[in-house]
Amino acid sequence: MNNNLVVAVIGMGYVGMPIAIEFAEKVEVIGFDINKEKIENYKKGIDVTNEVGNEIISKSTVNFTADKNDIKKGDFIIVAVPTPINQDKTPDLEPLKNVSKMVGENIKKGSTIIFESTVYPGVTEDVCIPILEKSSNMVCGQDFYVGYSPERINPGDKVHKLSNIIKVVSGINEEVTSNIADLYELIIDAGVHKVSNIKTAEATKVIENSQRDINIAFMNEVSKVFNRMNINTFEVVEAMNTKWNALKFTPGLVGGHCIGVDPYYFLYEAEKLGYESQIISSGRRINDSMVQFVTENLVKQLILADKKVKGSKVVIFGITFKENTPDFRNSKIIELIKLIEDYGIEVVIVDPVVNEEEIKVQENIKITDYKSVNDADGIIFAVPHKTFENYEKKSILNMFRNNSENNVIIDLKAQYKSLYINTPNLLYWNL
């Protein structure tokens, strides 16, 4: 590691961009993305991810570029591109295959390519390396080197940041692993954890998120049962968490590009090997069923409030896959909107965090100012963005069509229970 080192980061999204920013404090950094509009925003000092902020972006020395020829400058090339799933829930490796081909065509001899994209064990060595070798006309382990280090960034989390999350690292041999560890130690204050091989590192990421998925599924199943028992799940959780070894998981909609996706990568490879997962697949089924569960309870509450379901108006607060991030990829709220609309209910979306233009173009969803709504029959607090805490109760209640009649509030995370639980003419429900 020296001052002449050049690190190229491929993919300037929620994962790649913060990595590029951190490395730029230590070495020369190329920040590449095929999205020219995104690159131009970064050059103007606009953080489209809201992960590090405009001020840091504008002061950074990262060379943001959409020119793939710039990748050739990289001594280390870090790949951080999305790994989504297909409609049939199987892994979609096309983005990873495409970037492997592009990198292979634009690497210099002696470079080390580090994949951070989440995959099932074996993808780096069985899929990516052959593509790199073919497109570069070079041999891995002789002309260039490969490693894997799973991304562990938690989008929107201002406490658990890149620098204070231990980095798992691996390479095609011990020397490459050591070099990759030295590289990340430049920016990771928490240190690195070396594992013996690339497959182990790949497995680490998919199992981390599969474990979380299973635990949330348990709480979602509990929530369904407690709903029939007329027991408030979050009150049970609050009491349960007084014990030192409680895991503190809560029920909710599981979306996004990690927890809602990664288990399918594990299931895919397990089934290829002839093993049918029981627990992980059950967890996925339960979590995927929660959108229907929420929709059914919204309809039930509207009926109990003497509302005519068809023709009602419901306002949903939050459309991103989690709080305090503009990322709406694989957001379950989008699925929730479609199910609610199937009942003939008009849906209005309030979300000051999401990028209005992007979600309009990609999902044809319009974002509305909550102050312009005065004819709602129900409100769903779906994603508890911190900014919603500044909305006054009076302003929220003024969104209803008639406060002298019964109205409905669905509070998925029970964040606003103390405000609305005992409000007259208001039916309150949470998971």
Give the tens place of pLDDT for each residue, 233-251: 999 999 999 999 999 999 9
pLDDT at residue 294 tops 90 = yes
In a domain, 359, yes or no: yes
Which pLDDT does position 338 carry in this prediction?
97
User: Do 192 and 298 have their domain in common?
Assistant: no
In a domain, 328, yes or no: yes
pLDDT at residue 161 tops 90 = no
Which pLDDT does position 401 carry in this prediction?
94
User: Do 305 and 189 have their domain in common?
Assistant: no
Which pLDDT does position 100 carry in this prediction?
98
Q: Of the candidates 136, 166, 196, which is a domain's last residue?
A: 196
User: Do 50 and 175 have their domain in common?
Assistant: yes
Q: Of the candidates 139, 167, 196, which is a domain's last residue?
A: 196
The stretch 212-235 carries a mean pLDDT of 96
Q: At what angle do helices 290-304 and 198-229 cross, to 10 degrees?
A: 20
pLDDT at residue 3 tops 90 = no
pLDDT in tens, 101-136: 999 999 999 999 999 999 999 999 999 999 999 999
pLDDT in tens, 23-53: 999 999 999 999 999 999 999 999 988 888 9
* Interatomic CA distance for residues 31 and 83, integer angstroms: 19
pLDDT level of residue 1 (50, 70, 90 thresholds): low
pTM of the model: 0.92
Going by DSSP bridges, is the β-strand pair 63-65/76-79 parallel, antiparallel, or unpaired?
A: unpaired
pLDDT level of residue 253 (50, 70, 90 thresholds): very high
Q: Of the candidates 174, 196, 218, which is a domain's last residue?
A: 196
Q: Which CATH number fits the domain that encloses residue 349?
A: 3.40.50.720
User: Do 192 and 293 have their domain in common?
Assistant: no
Please report the sign of the dihedral spanned by the C-alpha atoms of residue 348, residue 353, residue 355, residue 359. negative
DSSP structure string for 364-401: ---B--GGG---BSEEEE-S--GGGGGS-HHHHHTTBS
Which pLDDT does position 160 carry in this prediction?
80
* Interatomic CA distance for residues 413 and 384, integer angstroms: 7
* Interatomic CA distance for residues 249 and 243, integer angstroms: 13
Nearest to 331 by CA among 323, 344, 322: 322
Cβ neighbours around 417 below 10 Å, total: 17
User: Do 190 and 41 have their domain in common?
Assistant: yes
The stretch 328-335 carries a mean pLDDT of 94
Active-site choice (81, 103, 119, 258): 258
Total domains in the chain come to: 2
pLDDT level of residue 268 (50, 70, 90 thresholds): very high
The stretch 386-405 carries a mean pLDDT of 94
Which pLDDT does position 62 carry in this prediction?
97
User: Do 44 and 156 have their domain in common?
Assistant: yes
pLDDT at residue 321 tops 80 = yes
pLDDT at residue 81 tops 90 = yes
In a domain, 100, yes or no: yes
pLDDT level of residue 2 (50, 70, 90 thresholds): low
pLDDT level of residue 223 (50, 70, 90 thresholds): very high
Domain that holds residue 297: 289-429
258 as an active site residue: the answer is yes
In a domain, 239, yes or no: no
